[in-house]
Amino acid sequence: MRILSSLLARLSRDVSGNVAVTFAIVCVPVITAVGCGVDYSRANQMRAKLQAAVDAASVGAVSRTSPAFIAAGTMTADGVISAGNDDAAKIFTGNMSGTSGYTLNSLTPEVKKAGSVLSATVSYSATVPMMFMNIVGFKTMTLEGSSTAKASMPKYIDFYLLLDNSPSMGVAATPADVAKMVAATTDKCAFACHDYNDSNNYYNLAKTLNVTTRIDVLRSATQQLMDTAQQTQTYSSQFRMAIYDFGAASKTIGLRALFSLSSSLSSAKSAAGNIDLMGVYGNNDAYTADKDTPFTTVFPAINNEISTPGDGTTGSPLKYVFFVSDGVADESNAACLKPKASGNRCQSPINPALCTTLKNRGIKIAVLYTTYLQLPTNNWYMSWIDPFNKGPFGPSPNSEIAQKMQACASDGFYFEVSPTQGIADAMNALFKKAVADARIAG
């Protein structure tokens, strides 16, 4: 201890070395180095806050509820969206609210639509004052950064519903209803034939018995589909609907527009309430001789109704046909796929070539096959339909009808519903698949 005291005393008396001055000089770079670390750490923290703010601004500006997203849905051309720029700036400012210790030199948002893509790029430049580095001449540090976010816009789609309302859609909808009709009819018929010539027709009988027929289920399912579309769409005019059947009666058979293409889904739902079974005029009908499922007529007709498909952007919608049927033609057709039932009558599974014509134009076809029920008590069915309503191991899904209906559909857009399954659920599933497919394809 005495030695340490002696050394300190000598240091204080030694002026020749000027140790104190030397120590001070040595401390300057040390202090500066430490100060640089402090300033750099502060600057990095500010950079992180600023970057988080521009990230939030770019992502928020293209969110599905953003002004830019809503505005882009009505734009018919590409371009910058000023409302999106303003929104991005507000999001940035909101995220930096209450943060001090920086000066914002510039904030540059650019939100724009290009085709079906909405993008936002937000760039900033800011300065942060230096405390310790100021000693060596660095008064501020400049921070710069940017963030880009993109979102795919929903596709605009036109849906054309082609609904088979021919007499075969008057069959009872479930095995229980089939049994009820068979038990109540002298000829063991499960078809609720809508015969205008007979007030006691089986169509009226089915209603009296509270039997649900396929056409009843189809009517309800189509109405539910409009609710699904309304709930799914992002823009008020994103989806347009048209509804067609095969005609109100045999004497006016052919493609009939129940509802012309429109974005008013509520009106489409109301119109769907008019879906009903085609009426005929007695057995061996005088107008069609019971040939009431004219696929070779209605498919070319609906093809003529559909304009060229677009890319799904505003004013250029994609085109989808929803075809709901039990898949068996009954018509005059010299090119029948199967031997004629009698005379020039053709009863045959649908010819997929009819669908190919539409698909070659870029129109997607969604097929809902309402399984043709086996009717062993019906002699005509057993003679002419049953032979191609069997697969290698019995009835559908391996039947020739099912195979032809699947060939009609675009890839991935085939559904078959058995009597115990829901047509409404299947139609909704097809609709949602179409919307998802359109988004992925874009």
**Residue 367 in domain:** yes
What would the mean pLDDT of 364-381 be, rounded to a whole number? Answer: 79
Residues 20-46 have a mean pLDDT of 64
Model confidence band, residue 18 (pLDDT cutoffs 50, 70, 90): low
Give this prediction's pTM. 0.78
Say what the pLDDT of residue 8 is.
43
Indicate whether 126 pLDDT > 90.
yes
314 with 360, same domain: the answer is yes
The CATH number covering residue 229 comes to 3.40.50.410
Q: Are residues 194 and 229 both part of a single domain?
A: yes
- Based on the fold, state whether residues 275 and 407 are members of the same structural domain: yes
Q: What is the structure's pLDDT at 172? A: 80
Check whether residue 222 and residue 369 sit in a common domain. yes
Residue 291 belongs to some domain of the structure: yes
Q: 20-29, 271-280, 300-309: lowest mean pLDDT where?
A: 20-29
pLDDT score, position 149: 95
- Decide which of 172 and 364 is more confident: 364
- pLDDT over 50 at 11, yes or no: no
φ, ψ of residue 15 to 5 degrees: the values are -95, -15
More confident residue, 304 or 176: 304
Residue 26 pLDDT: 47
Using CA atoms, how far apart are residues 152 and 112, in angstroms rounded to an integer? 12
Could you tell me if 225 and 285 lie in one domain?
A: yes
Number of structural domains in the chain: 2
103 lies in a domain?
yes
pLDDT in tens, 200-228: 788 888 888 888 888 888 999 999 999 99
pLDDT digits (tens, 9 = 90+) for 265-280: 999 999 999 999 988 8
Specify whether 317 is located in the same domain as 361.
yes
- Asked whether residue 3 is domain-assigned, the answer is no
Over residues 342-371, the mean pLDDT reads 90
Mean pLDDT score, 295-309: 97
Range of the domain at 283: 157-441
Domain assignment present for residue 74? The answer is yes
Q: What average pLDDT is seen over the chain?
A: 84
28 belongs to a structural domain: no
Residues 106, 248 within the same domain: no
Q: Are residues 171 and 128 in the same domain?
A: no
